[in-house]
Amino acid sequence: MPTITHIRLDYRRMKISMADSNQKKSIRALLTGIVDYAGLFPPSQLSMPQAVANYAAYGQSDYKWMLGQFIVPVARLDEFTRNANDFFSKTEDVWRLSVLAGEDIYETVRVVEEFNHAHHARVVCDALEVKANTSYEIKELAEAASPRLKTYFEIPVDAHLADLISTLAVCGVRAKIRTGGVTEAAFPPVEQIVRFMRVCLAANVPFKATAGLHHPLRSVKPLTYEADAPEGTMNGFLNVFLAAAFLQQGYQPKLVAELLKDKRADNFLFDNNGVLWRQEHFLSTIALENLRTRSAISFGSCSFIEPVEDLQEIGLL
């Protein structure tokens, strides 16, 4: 696990190399607001003071346009407020939170609504994340959730996926897929990710991803920050979001699965008009904007530094 000193040094190094005034429009379209910061969660698992300080720093950096919501469990909202108060006076931006629900959905909604009423000028909880395994659970939880919140349901990608996504569509809520974790077994096969995205797109259900997407391209990396951490094949967030965009354009699942497995940065060429994959498959900047606005919303990551520095390393930032 990185220490706060290490994180601050990384942030300082990141800021020195920032120069994105000529950022390609397609990259902006694809990456704006894409990283929901989950520093409280494994493998970083930072303390609340550390995670809040990091989020505040990232929100003042030249890459703040990539930063999405701060993810926090409902049980830690008071702790968040105590640690974030000092930062609110230093920015005019309203912080946006995505709240992980507790076991009692009614209590969660009550706490979130009281929080929003008390702090709306400085910070707002505008998304809720819950888990459900059946269509019945989705209906019950969706009915209890506030219509003022964008509610994401983490669901299993199993034989009942189509029924679950259909229920999400009927209830007007959103989907969430777990794309990794701290063990190799936590990473789903690419075919499972393709299936999840295809069904969501067909049903017009917006979705987000979480876990295991620290790096832009598929790669073999340590699964935690421990010195002796085991390595595993991790999915890339560029792979996942571009795969969703190609699916939205009607590309076949087999080809999209190949994209999800692509580890070569030189296979992805970005310019102001769009992105070209393998010198033959093109997505326009407008298609990318449409994807991010209506379908593939964001991904949760316990690191903001790694996505930025990796994008710099492959020449996209």
Q: 0.85 exceeded by the pTM? A: yes
- Domain presence at residue 21: no
CATH code for position 94:
3.20.20
Domain count, the chain: 1
- Domain presence at residue 155: yes
- Domain presence at residue 55: yes
pLDDT of amino acid 21: 42
Q: Which residues touch 201 (CB under 8 Å, ≥6 apart)?
A: 244, 247, 248, 295
Instruction: Name the 3-class secondary structure at 213.
Output: coil
- Domain presence at residue 6: no
pLDDT digits (tens, 9 = 90+) for 223-258: 989 888 899 999 999 999 999 999 999 999 999 999
When computed from its CA atoms, the radius of gyration of the chain, rounded to whole angstroms, is 19
CA distance 259 to 263: 9
Q: How far is CA 210 from the centre of its chain?
A: 6
- Domain presence at residue 113: yes
CA distance 303 to 11: 11
Q: Would you state the structure tokens that stand for residue 159, as one six-digit string? A: 């034989």
pLDDT digits (tens, 9 = 90+) for 157-170: 999 999 999 999 99
